[in-house]
Amino acid sequence: MVIRRAAVLLLLAGPVLPQSLRVLSEFQRVDPFGDVVAVDRTANPREILSPALARNAFASFHIAVSVPERTPYFVYVQTNPPNVFDIALYEELYVKTSAGWIPDALEPTKLPAFGILPYLPMPIPGQNTLSYWMDVWVPAETPVERVRVEVLLKIGQGWMMYPMEARVTPARAPSMEAHSAALPPATARADAAVALPFRNFVCGARETSRDEKLSVRRFLHRNAVQDLALARSLEAAPHNDLRGEILRRLGLSDRAAFCKSSFSPDTLGPEWFLRVRDLLYRKAGPAPD
């Protein structure tokens, strides 16, 4: 109760505080200066307030923490009811590229996660933000219900909170073994990691297998493969042209023309795959009210 009251007071205080706590979709990577990576920017990013989750599946988000230098902080995640999900947190490590600093490699960290700037042993001049990948595993038998998920930031004597009302849907992804594939470079737009598995799903092709290091790109790809496995299971329903419906929802050409073309999602915006996921989860049954 004390934590919640302090969090509410800090939220009501507005943007005058030198620190901030944000939760963004997996396709919105944040640089060490608090801005979405240039190639991932979109005019209307998805607000992460009440995300729909599939069961037997991962849901992933970026957490961006902006803090003053030399001010220790802790990041924690809790749910109500408690222990509904298995939640893992990874620190996102920045790589300097021709396009600027981009978070890519992932390093597992414990909850609560401790941080401080400047980041050692590799300080970045002017850095004011650290970012994390939050991996939420939803067990197969999780009830279809709403679950409150709170990301908490303790800095100094105060707390900040980012509250979400996660909606566990009837969708249940098939169990899968670990899947490796060749990935695009870190400088590519975040959704490039899902474009190839999407095309292969629509056109019935297979990906080239290749081991890749633990990274944002690898988990983006994993999540897409997971969702497309769900899509294949939904196709078992009679008279279900799911692939055609997905293409129409995205404003793309019919399946035959799409498979003959060279698919580039540049005109769709970096979060286009969230629309595919929304459709799949709705097809599996209504989410809780």
Phi, psi of 20 (to 5 degrees): -150, 160
Rounded CA-CA distance 187/215 in Å is: 13
CA 249, 251, 257, 263 dihedral sign is negative
Mean pLDDT over 232-258 rounds to 88
β-pair type (86-97, 52-55)? unpaired
As to burial, measured by CB atoms within 10 angstroms (0-12 exposed, 13-18 middle, 19+ buried), residue 261 is: exposed
Question: Is the overall model pTM greater than 0.75, yes or no?
Answer: yes
Would you say residue 13 has pLDDT above 50? Answer: no
The single residue listed with the structure tokens 């793309």 is: 252
Among the listed residues 84, 37, 99, 97, the one whose alpha carbon sits nearest the alpha carbon of residue 62: 37
- C-alpha pair distances (Å), 244 with each of 152, 160, 201, 231, 281: 42, 44, 11, 12, 16
H or E stretch covering 3: helix 2-12
Q: Could you report the per-residue pLDDT of 136-185, keeping only the tens digit for each?
A: 999 999 999 999 999 999 998 889 999 999 999 999 999 987 777 889 99
In angstroms, the CA 287 to CA 54 distance is 10
Please answer whether residues 159 and 43 qualify as being in contact, where contact means their C-beta atoms are separated by less than 8 angstroms: no
* Closest residue by Cα to residue 286 from 46, 47, 48, 52: 52
Model pLDDT for residues 67-121, shown as the tens digit of each residue: 999 999 999 999 999 999 999 999 999 999 999 999 999 999 999 999 999 988 7
Provide the residue ranges of all domains of the chain, joining segments of one domain with +.
2-171, 192-283
Tens digits of residue pLDDT in 247-282: 999 999 889 999 988 888 888 999 999 999 999 999
User: Residue 3: pLDDT band by 50, 70, 90 thresholds?
Assistant: very low
User: Other C-beta atoms within 10 Å of 26: how many?
Assistant: 27
User: Hey, which residues does 76 pair with through a beta bridge?
Assistant: 152
Cβ atoms of residues 73 and 153 within 8 Å: yes
To the question of domain 2-171 being in CATH 2.60.40.10, the answer is: yes
Task: Give the helix/strand (H/E) hosting 160.
Answer: strand 158-172
